[in-house]
Structure 1
């Protein structure tokens, strides 16, 4: 995957190639556990392929708890529609790093753990590099990603692997599969039902 991304140049006038690493984060298993682990691994490999990389987690652009959890802490519909501030992610990261952008990005807008503004300054996006945005439920929002990598974990595997305290999220991912069909939209799909034996399927701009 790193070698494939290293061969894709940024769009004309863009600071970096903007890559979504989309999928459910399922900790506790060896191998491919979720988008954050995959993005971190790609970020360590890309510089060796002459492509600097930076990781900007989507969680840094979640809404404040007063909005995100307005309907309770375990509402799957809110998890699907209300958690991510997609316009802020577009404005502060993707647009600034894309064509005619300023060539910088905001690492995070909101500190979810402390539920307050992150108060971070803009940082340069590595020129000619790869901007990796790991997170869940990232497709179907009109975000300007140049490449989308989707970790496909089927419903049965999700139910088998999700921690008990996060089982309430499962209907959100079922709805995502039904309404967005993220596999069909992605440029690369990592089949990760068995995290220790992932398989890569190329489509979209890689086909």
Structure 2
């Protein structure tokens, strides 16, 4: 894959411009965007940048992080605190994401989205209020391992780190998750599946594979 240097500012401006004309695959009035990748790659920061750029263009964004849809600790740690298989396939409540985030944004949906469900620090429900996303509003879902659940994304951005960069930038206490990302690369090929690939080994100098087709 050929990648070219770009600044974060130009990257977010270009993506935001494309989102203004993006046609959803199923006729939904709400474009749904994935910002996929390890937290060490700055997916949350990129989603926030995109949200700011969309607001400047008169569109309403809704940023949702998968960390707000973790399963309770009793389920996440059922097989220990560093079980790679549990992290890969059982930490995130994908059923709740389908029900509370994607379902309301289906064609004919209400647009009434729950932005988070579970507080992992307190290990209890967040009790956050629902958010009404108006037609034309854009969902920006960020987090790891997003492209393996058949979520109906209309645009997918994968923030890619080389294995060495991922290890260096992952906090020591989270490095036990690295085999899950190796498996994700091997089984899902997120760079091959995503519409946009951003290499962020050096966060000061990103590179990408070019502007996506708005159609």
User: TM (normalized to structure 2)?
Assistant: 0.87
For residue 2 of structure 1, what is the aligned residue in structure 2?
Answer: 16
RMSD between aligned residues:
1.9
Q: Deviations over 1:155-183 (max 9, x none)?
A: 12111221211111111100110111111
Q: Contact between 2:64 and 2:141, CA under 8 Å: does it hold in 1?
A: yes
> Which residue of structure 1 aligns with residue 97 of structure 2?
89
Give, in whole Å, the separation in 1 of the partners of 2:209 and 2:157: 10
User: Which position in structure 1 is the counterpart of 2:112?
Assistant: 104
Structure 1 unmatched ranges of 5 or more: 27-32
Normalising by structure 1, what TM-score?
0.90
Within 2, Cα distance between the matches of 1:18 and 1:51?
A: 13
In 2 relative to 1, CA 104–162 (structure 1 residues): closer, same or farther, beyond 3 Å?
same
Matched, 1:48 2:56: yes
* Structure 2 portions without partners, runs of 5+: 1-14
> How many corresponding residue pairs?
201
Who is 2:165 aligned against?
157
Runs (4+) off by over 6 Å: none
1:170 and 1:113 mapped to 2: Cα distance? 22
The superposition leaves residues 18-59 of structure 1 with CA deviations (integer Å, 9 ceiling, x where unpaired) of: 111100111xxxxxx411010011111111123221101111
Q: How does 1:1-207 map to 2 (within 5 A)?
A: 1-10=15-24, 13-26=27-40, 33-202=41-210, 205=213
